[in-house]
Amino acid sequence: MRITKISVKKLFGVFDHEIPLNQDSRITVIHGPNGVGKTVLLRMVHGLFSSNYGIFSEVPFDRFGVHFDIGQSLYVDQDRPVRQLALSALDDETLRSAGGRLHASFSISHSHEPGTDIHPYSPSRSRERYRHFVDLVESIPELDRIGSNVWFSEEFGSPMTMDEIISAYDLDLQYFATSEPEWLIHIKNSINTQCIETQRLQSSTENGQASHYRSRSRRFTQQSTVERYSDEIAKTIQSTLTEYGQSSQRIDSSFPTRLLDTSLSSSLDSESLLLKLSELEEKSSELMKLGIFEAKDAPKIPTLDSSQENLTNVLSIYVEDVEDKLAVLDKLAEQLRVLTDIINTRFDHKTLKVDRQNGFVISARDEHPIPLHSLSSGEQHELVLFYQLLFDAKPNSLIMIDEPEISLHVNWQEQFLNDIQRVSDLRQFDVLIATHSPDIISDKHEWMVELGEAVTA
């Protein structure tokens, strides 16, 4: 099941938006000035599918809808106080302060086949939910509060928002899934969403406000998001190599039996065998270049000359075995290939390589190593964003990206959608992007939805 359209009536009391999602390119860009609700729309979609309902009681609207390719729609209807926000007061600070005073109630329902009895579901108010969330967080020893709505996770080595904690620690399963109706759970289980917000590089700190919120006395290590992902990719490579080793042992253990079983013989002719051996040599070299293999790990690729034609049967089986072994690494190799290609087209004076021990390795043109924290904010944003898309995003998800233009030079912005399309084609997910920048849109105007003017009463 895929989302085909997102709609909202009277957002902030004044905007009606309808956003059809591109089904062919799988990429949709919403564009508009500050205050029309681009970021809020992303948060509403993600909040609905992650059971993080607070935004629906904080932001004024009449009806919010998510529409699916199977003909159904999911709706959130708000019953808010008479007090409205003035159009002239739609800055972020006013919305934050006003949101805390609204205390609007809301219900969730969906369109359905005639004769099906579906009752609207009314979640707990956000304050009750928030208090329950804080109680749960207090019971998790590795979480330290370092801001008003930010906690540091020792397990993940980074700050985490409420949404991230709910997802990472399965708090939604402990609290929300038990109270939601079956029809809503079924719809949510059919849709994955991920919201990549503007605070992608936030790191923990030992100074300032953090100490005011810290509930426990232990110290924690400062680590940026890019450093955390560097550690993660090293662990991913090592885990995949473990799987590769197990597969190799299983294949090797049956080699003598298959060699002697003439019924399994599938000898290649000499020309085909030479081609296969050459392809395996290239693949093995690329795996070393991508940081997955070290020289000692690469499979030994034999050579073949005319005097060894009697060995074609043995080598044919060996080649098939090596192909099967290396297939375990194909997905990881493609992800790393795309990541390094994209990032290295961005880095003019630096080069990204991946190492299975050290993760991301950045070097200058003279091969001098560059610490990750020395990368510019724009370089870190790109590395973090494309890592998330390639390694965290699930197939058939809706990935929402807020303001990808942050800290990016115009040339990088113009390349952005082409790179997103490359990743989307590989990972097979839909993308919804909110931006102020016409340079992000570049020549892809057919992918853009311009958010309209305020609706007059």
Tens of pLDDT, residue by residue over 374-407, are 888 888 888 988 999 999 888 889 999 988 887 7
- List the single range of 18-22, 167-171, 180-184, 369-373 with lowest mean pLDDT: 167-171
Q: pLDDT band for position 98 (50/70/90)?
A: very low
User: Are residues 36 and 225 in contact, defined by beta-carbon separation less than 8 angstroms?
Assistant: no
Can you give the C-alpha Rg of the chain in angstroms?
26
Note the pLDDT of residue 86.
Answer: 40
Percent share of the chain, pLDDT over 90 = 26
Note the pLDDT of residue 386.
Answer: 93
Residue 274 scores a pLDDT above 50:
yes
Residue 435 scores a pLDDT above 80:
yes
Residue 230 scores a pLDDT above 90:
yes
Interatomic CA distance for residues 149 and 210, integer angstroms: 11
92-114 average pLDDT score: 58
Dihedral of the alpha carbons of 112, 116, 119, 120, in degrees to the nearest 10: 0
- List the single range of 113-127, 174-188, 200-214, 317-331 with lowest mean pLDDT: 200-214
pLDDT per residue as tens digits for the range 131-148: 777 778 888 888 888 766
What does DSSP say about strands 63-68 and 3-11: parallel, antiparallel, or unpaired? antiparallel
Q: Supply the pTM of this predicted model.
A: 0.76
Tokens of 147: 């801001």
User: Are residues 315 and 273 in contact, defined by beta-carbon separation less than 8 angstroms?
Assistant: yes
pLDDT per residue as tens digits for the range 445-455: 889 898 877 66
Q: pLDDT band for position 113 (50/70/90)?
A: low
What does DSSP say about strands 430-435 and 27-31: parallel, antiparallel, or unpaired? parallel
Domain boundary assignment for the chain: 124-179+198-222, 230-393
Return the HEC string of the chain. Answer: CCEEEEEEEEECCCEEEEEECCCCCCEEEEECCCCCCHHHHHHHHHHHHCCCCHHHHHCCCCEEEEEECCCCEEEEEEECCCCCCCHHHCCHHHHHHHHHHHCCEEEEEECCCCCCCCCCECCCCHHHHHHHHHHHHHCCCCEEECCCCEEEECCCCEEEEHHHHHHHCCHHHHHHHHHCCHHHHHHHHCCCEEEECCCCCCCCCCCCCHHHHCCCCCCCCCCCHHHHHHHHHHHHHHHHHHHHHHHHHHHHHCHHHHHHCHHHCCCCCHHHHHHHHHHHHHHHHHHHHCCCCCCCCCCCCCCCCHHHHHHHHHHHHHHHHHHHHHHCCHHHHHHHHHHHHHHHHHCCCEEEEEECCCEEEEEECCCCEECHHHCCHHHHHHHHHHHHHHHHCCCCCEEEEECCCCCCCHHHHHHHHHHHHHHHHHHCCEEEEEECCHHHHCCCHHHEEECCCCCCC
Top mean pLDDT of 101-115, 152-166, 219-233, 394-408 is at 394-408
pLDDT per residue as tens digits for the range 331-350: 999 999 999 999 999 888 89
pLDDT per residue as tens digits for the range 26-67: 999 998 888 888 989 999 998 888 887 878 887 889 999 999
**More confidently predicted of 99 and 52:** 52
pLDDT per residue as tens digits for the range 288-304: 999 998 888 778 877 76
202 pairs with which residues across the strands?
A: none
Q: pLDDT band for position 263 (50/70/90)?
A: low
User: Are residues 46 and 193 in contact, defined by beta-carbon separation less than 8 angstroms?
Assistant: yes
Q: pLDDT band for position 203 (50/70/90)?
A: very low
Residue 104 scores a pLDDT above 60:
yes
b/e code 97-135 from CB counts within 10 Å (16+ = b): ebbeebebebebbbeeeeeeeeeebebeebeebeeebee
297-322 average pLDDT score: 74
Residue 225 scores a pLDDT above 50:
yes
Note the pLDDT of residue 81.
Answer: 57
Tokens of 48: 């609905």
Top mean pLDDT of 156-160, 221-225, 347-351 is at 347-351
Look at the alpha carbons of 373, 374, 377, 379 in this order and tell me if their dihedral is positive or negative. Answer: negative
Note the pLDDT of residue 90.
Answer: 43
pLDDT per residue as tens digits for the range 236-251: 999 999 999 999 999 9
| Cβ partners under 8 Å of residue 438, min gap 6 | 31
Mean of the per-residue pLDDT values of the chain: 79
